[in-house]
Amino acid sequence: MALKKITMISVLPGCFKSKKLSPEPKDRVTKKITSQRLSLSDLSNPGSPLSMSDLSSSLIGSNLHVFTLTELEVITKNFSSSNYLGEGGFGRVHKGFVDDKLRPGLGAQPVAVKVLDLDGTQGHREWLAEVIFLGQLRHPHLVKLIGYCCEDEHRLLVYEYMARGNLESQLFKKYYVPLPWLTRIKIAVGAAKGLSFLHEEEKPVIYRDFKASNILLDSDYTAKLSDFGLATDGPQGDDTHVTTRVMGTEGYAAPEYIMTGHLTTMSDVYGFGVVLLELLTGRRSVDKNRPSREQDLVKWGRPLLKDPQKLDQIMDPRLEGQYSTEGAKKAATLAYQCLSRHPKCRPTMSAVVKTLEPLVDLDDIPTGPIVYIAPTEGNKERDVQKNIKENEEKEMAKKDDGHHRQRNGHRRRRRKRSLRSRAVHSDTTLYRTLGTSLYSLKQKSQLDDGI
Ligand SMILES: Nc1ncnc2c1ncn2[C@@H]1O[C@H](COP(=O)(O)OP(=O)(O)O)[C@@H](O)[C@H]1O
Ligand SMILES: [Mg+2]
């Protein structure tokens, strides 16, 4: 196999501009690596910024655009609050617009720009993971990375814009109309295909932070995985797992991973099971506002999943009974298996896709107060779209309501705060569960060579 010598400068132009590297810096690393997909572990000497010099040529070939901070400030109107889209542990995300005046060949399109919070717990490591994975992996169910900015200590990522934001908001925020059954199945299938693609790569990728807020939805509810900050390479050769410090989100992380730090693709399958259970029940994985025995969704819901008689006790009341009973039973059984405490008893993601895909064909959906046309062979997609359109119209009608708009504004402000505090709380809780001391991800990045 052809071996290539590459350097950081050639792969990530614009990075470390301020470090004024001399033409032949003493500690410059040049390493032979294969032309295969580059993995995070291919970076030598994780403590040094120059370890980045070993990124593979596959990244160069991935057509990522390199932007300056000033350019990204301009396209997002200085990261104005009117362009705010959301945030997680990495930092805030803002909408912007690009076209070929910015870079030749760049189609005119809206984009989402994620900005590293320099006071936050994440840092270069998480940014690099996104560049490495999303820069090389392309799939209809992974969000497309368009480019990045790496200037001084600033780290930004530029993605395709996903018009309907994240699944968490669509599923749980009361100001959105309830997602219809077939839309939920479509989302589950899309997200499952994204995970399945990652797991079946020649060098498998473990996503590690599968949750509703990391599943983005485009205008027709096609689901795409975003946020590869915690993604990592799967076990190689004869290894059965990778051992890492436990990172992720409370309520979604697999029990064996929390207990042992052993990470496998089956940890992602567990996370998928949690999201599937959220889609069925309309309940959050952790909800401190519920009675204590119902706060942990898996603890409460899993025993009910295996009993078809109890299905109607757990199905989302906002569906108003308008779901395929057969489809719900199959999805419930699947969620039960994904949530097994024994990783080996969980199905693979490709088996999950095979089980879920036929559910869009099941037309035993009762009609209720909302007029619904059950899908038949050949017009399923159109019917899903019709359903979606009806919901959009309702959504628009709601938004036209002045009173609602005002309340919505208040909620949005509150949402920003609660999202952030939850992310911090989640990590903290996980570390506490493990009895590990608290340290920032930046520190971890320097310490951890197994991520
Ligand atoms: N490409 C995008 N299009 C639209 N909204 C996005 C996009 N990327 C992120 N967002 C919004 O920002 C939120 C945080 O993004 P995410 O990538 O999960 O950041 P973090 O790494 O900080 O968790 C998402 O839940 C979503 O609401
Ligand atoms: Mg996120």
One digit per residue, the tens of pLDDT, for the chain of length 451 reads 333 333 343 446 555 444 333 333 333 323 334 447 777 766 534 554 435 544 544 565 567 999 999 999 999 999 999 999 999 999 999 999 999 999 998 999 999 999 999 999 999 999 999 999 999 999 999 999 999 999 999 999 999 999 999 999 999 999 999 999 999 999 999 999 999 999 999 899 999 999 999 999 999 999 999 999 999 998 887 888 888 888 889 999 999 999 999 999 999 999 999 999 999 999 999 999 999 999 999 999 999 999 989 999 999 999 999 999 999 999 999 999 999 999 999 999 999 999 999 999 998 888 765 544 444 444 455 555 555 555 555 555 544 443 333 333 333 333 333 333 333 223 333 433 333 322 234 434 433 433 3
**Is the same domain home to 229 and 299?**
yes
**Is the same domain home to 32 and 147?**
yes
Tokens of residue 269, six digits? 């399958």
**Coil, helix or strand at residue 224:** strand
Pocket flag, ligand 1, residue 115 (CB < 6 Å): no
H helix intervals, 12-95: 57-60, 69-75
**Is the same domain home to 60 and 32?**
yes
Ligand-binding site membership of 444 (annotated): no
Domain membership of residue 384 as a residue range? 377-402+418-450
**Is the same domain home to 189 and 118?**
no
Q: Structure pTM?
A: 0.79
CA separation for the pair 67, 89 (Å, rounded): 22
Which residues, listed in sequence order, are joined to residue 3 by a DSSP beta bridge?
34
Tokens of residue 209, six digits? 């932070």
The one-letter amino acid at 274: V
**Is the same domain home to 30 and 134?**
yes
**Is the same domain home to 22 and 154?**
yes
**Is the same domain home to 123 and 173?**
no
In a domain, 1, yes or no: no
Number of domains in the chain: 3
**Is the same domain home to 218 and 345?**
yes
In a domain, 148, yes or no: yes
**Is the same domain home to 174 and 318?**
yes
Query: Which residue from 216, 416, 426 has its CB within 8 A of the most atoms of ligand 1, so it is best to mutate?
Result: 216
Residue at which a domain ends, from 114, 129, 160: 160
Q: What letter does residue 367 receive in the DSSP assignment?
A: -
**Is the same domain home to 346 and 206?**
yes
**Is the same domain home to 433 and 341?**
no
In a domain, 182, yes or no: yes
**Is the same domain home to 44 and 153?**
yes
- For 23, 191, 200, 367, the CA distances from 211, given in Å and listed in that order, are 44, 10, 20, 31
In a domain, 97, yes or no: yes
Pocket flag, ligand 1, residue 89 (CB < 6 Å): yes
CATH of the domain at 143: 3.30.200.20
In a domain, 277, yes or no: yes
CA separation for the pair 91, 120 (Å, rounded): 7
User: Ligand 1 mean position to 301 CA, how many Å?
Assistant: 28
Cite the active site residues: 209
Pocket flag, ligand 1, residue 211 (CB < 6 Å): no
Tokens of residue 392, six digits? 């959009």
Burial 360-391 (b: 16+ CB within 10 A, else e): bebbebeeeeeebebbeeeebeebbeebbebb
